[in-house]
Amino acid sequence: MDYDIIYIGSGNASWQGARFLRKEGLKILIVEESLYGGTCANRGCNSKALLDAPYEIKALADNFEGVGKSGNFEVDWPALMKFKQKRIANMSLFLDGKFDEYDLDVAHGKGIILDEHTVQVGDEKFTTEKIVIATGLKPIIPDIKGKEYLHDSTDFLDIAELPKHAIIMGAGFVGMEFASILAEAGLEADVIIRGDMALKYFHQPYVQRVIEILKDKNIRFHFNQTVKEIIKSDDVVIDNPEAKVSNVTEGLNVDLDLRDPDAKLENRAYENGFTVKCESGLSLTGDYVISAIGRTANVDGIGLENVGLTSTKNGIKVNGHLQTEVPNIYASGDVADTGIAKLVTVAIHHSKYLIKELLGQADEITYPVVPAVAYTIPRIATVGVPAYIAEESDEYDVHTIRYGNSYSLELKNDTTAEAKVIVDKDLQIVGAEIYAADAENVANMFAFIINKKITLEELDYMIYAFPSSSSVCLYKLHNIHYDL
């Protein structure tokens, strides 16, 4: 065999563990057809964090409107984008260097599984004892008329100028986080949701608060809508003969055919604009349309059929050892259908677990509680037992901690910061929902508390750095401890 293990994909689901397996003497090959590091490093987490940060700062500054703020904080998107592109362009090169440092072999090209021990990359074939599929997910582009006009998250995170009026299909992580950026930039957006809720895995009262903030900033929401067609501006027919053509054609180089007296005239149009039509009859016009309706397993053309494997939208089915139905082929990270949240942190957990598994030393994989964060403005986070389950069960109690209202000065005038803390009948913290500017940090604190089973009495005994968001939230927990 040429290798002990071949990883198909070079993201966190592969190299985080591969480097340690190499230290154990195993010969490793990482196959990558795109940029080293995968989606998070090049087209996702890192780009989003960098582009979001100035708008987060702007929102924090706005907390002092009328009580110390002077002037406006303006974000220069083109300059920010140039900075982002420079930083992100170095990520793949950095990882290429790290792979060399870790003595990991790399083959650049599409990895195709020919049989359970052979992977082809270009004209070369490599043999291996074991294969790990770590190809992640890709954005879903719906099969509708005009789908060629849709942009995905990768496009938006590399756009030279923000759209004046975006139409966002979907209200999950991507849709809502992009809506927050556009709102803070003072731009417009329409968000189209197939169901009746946004961010469905998060505490809905907190989601609704974010929605209300976005509504106040020219973001409109359309629930229970299904998009059926996207029409480019030069294909649009304006049909009302009584309409003033000059009002709708400003900036457009199109010839308009006015012929249907019953049709309604859109009240605006855009250069290079698009009309999005829904099955209900809803029609929206903007200058940029984003598909943010989810992601699906990135397994097209990698040869699953050659070894009798299949996949669904959720990925490749694996057992408790991350094995597929072919025992020497594993799936790691987002492409693995485990029923656990598809987050980069989980992908790293998979990769580290496979160190022992591939050395034949592991029991079935287990998971600590997994904090998840929607990086809207403000943030929403969830960790452990969710409030909606606790509220319907006799096994838990839910306590609301309005620490922003009590400690607004210490929280940079963030008066609305709040957490719902779920405890069991022994007053052990088992879950939390957080709504705050830095909810991600508070969620990590609760993840530590829950995983280590730290009691309320122990928390009340400890001394914390003050002021800080974690300390003011923790100090409020004594209300639970003393049943006040």
pLDDT tens for 121-133 read 999 999 999 999 9
Torsion of CA 229, 233, 234, 240, to 10 degrees: 90
CB 432 within 8 A of CB 420: yes
Side-chain-facing half-sphere of 300: CA atoms under 13 Å: 7
Coil, helix or strand for 146? coil
Q: What is the pLDDT of residue 178?
A: 98
Rounded mean pLDDT of 246-273? 43
Kindly state the helix (H) or strand (E) to which residue 435 belongs, with its residue range. strand 429-436
Q: What is the pLDDT of residue 270?
A: 55
In this model, does residue 155 exceed pLDDT 70?
Answer: yes
Rounded mean pLDDT of 300-306? 98
Q: Computed from CA positions of residues 240, 245, 250, 256, in that sequence, does the dihedral angle turn out positive or negative? A: positive
DSSP per-residue string spanning 204-234: HHHHHHHHHHHHTTTEEEE-S--EEEEEEGG
Q: Computed from CA positions of residues 334, 340, 344, 345, in that sequence, does the dihedral angle turn out positive or negative? A: negative
In this model, does residue 252 exceed pLDDT 50?
Answer: no
Alpha carbon 45 to its chain's center? 7
CB 309 within 8 A of CB 111: no
For 304-361, write each residue's pLDDT tens digit.
Answer: 999 999 999 899 999 999 999 999 999 999 999 999 999 999 999 999 999 999 999 9
104-127 per-residue burial string, b: 16 or more CB within 10 A, e: under 16: bbbbeebbbbeebbbbbbeeeebe
Q: Computed from CA positions of residues 162, 164, 168, 172, in that sequence, does the dihedral angle turn out positive or negative? A: positive
CATH code of the domain made up of 147-291: 3.50.50.60
Q: What is the pLDDT of residue 410?
A: 77
Rounded mean pLDDT of 421-432? 96
Coil, helix or strand for 14? helix
Q: What is the pLDDT of residue 29?
A: 98
Residue 129 CA: distances (Å) to CA of 203, 279, 336, 466: 45, 51, 20, 54
Is it true that domain 378-481 has CATH number 3.30.390.30?
A: yes
Distance (Å, whole) CA 76 – CA 287: 20
Rounded mean pLDDT of 3-18? 97
For 160-201, write each residue's pLDDT tens digit.
Answer: 999 999 999 999 999 999 999 999 999 999 999 999 999 999
* The domains spanning 147-291 and 378-481 adopt the same CATH topology: no
E-only strand ranges, 281-348? 283-286, 288-291, 295-297, 316-317, 329-331, 336-337
Percent residues over pLDDT 70 in the chain: 91
Q: What is the pLDDT of residue 322?
A: 98
DSSP per-residue string spanning 30-88: EEESS-TTHHHHHTSHHHHHHHHHHHHHHHHHHTTTTTT--S-----HHHHHHHHHHHH
Rounded mean pLDDT of 379-405? 95
Rounded mean pLDDT of 236-263? 38
Rounded mean pLDDT of 379-385? 98
Distance (Å, whole) CA 314 – CA 342: 9
Record the tokens describing residue 377, joined without a space.
């403005």
Residue 145 CA: distances (Å) to CA of 150, 227, 232, 277, 451: 10, 10, 11, 10, 48
| Angle subtended by helix axes 77-101 and 45-62, to nearest 10 | 140
Q: What is the pLDDT of residue 483?
A: 53
Distance (Å, whole) CA 406 – CA 476: 9
Torsion of CA 32, 10, 296, 339, to 10 degrees: 150
Percent residues over pLDDT 90 in the chain: 80
Is it true that domain 3-139+295-358 has CATH number 3.50.50.60?
A: yes
| 260 — pLDDT class (breaks 50, 70, 90) | very low
Of the candidate ranges 19-28, 134-143, 239-248, the one whose mean pLDDT is the lowest: 239-248
| 479 — pLDDT class (breaks 50, 70, 90) | confident
Q: What is the pLDDT of residue 469?
A: 87
Q: What is the pLDDT of residue 18?
A: 97
Where exactly are the structural domains of the chain?
A: 3-139+295-358, 147-291, 378-481
In this model, does residue 31 exceed pLDDT 60?
Answer: yes
CB 175 within 8 A of CB 191: yes
Distance (Å, whole) CA 173 – CA 427: 32
CA–CA–CA angle 237, 243, 248 (5° rounding):
65
For 33-66, write each residue's pLDDT tens digit.
Answer: 999 998 988 989 999 999 999 999 999 999 898 8
Of the candidate ranges 82-91, 189-198, 257-266, the one whose mean pLDDT is the lowest: 257-266
Q: What is the pLDDT of residue 82?
A: 96
| 239 — pLDDT class (breaks 50, 70, 90) | very low
| 247 — pLDDT class (breaks 50, 70, 90) | very low
Q: What is the pLDDT of residue 150?
A: 97
> How many Cβ atoms are within 10 Å of 70's Cβ, its own excluded?
5
| 255 — pLDDT class (breaks 50, 70, 90) | very low
**What is the chain's mean pLDDT, rounded?**
91
Q: What is the pLDDT of residue 235?
A: 55
Distance (Å, whole) CA 117 – CA 254: 58
Phi (first) and psi of residue 176, to 5 degrees: -75, -35
Q: What is the pLDDT of residue 68?
A: 87
In this model, does residue 263 exceed pLDDT 60?
Answer: no
| Angle subtended by helix axes 204-215 and 173-184, to nearest 10 | 30
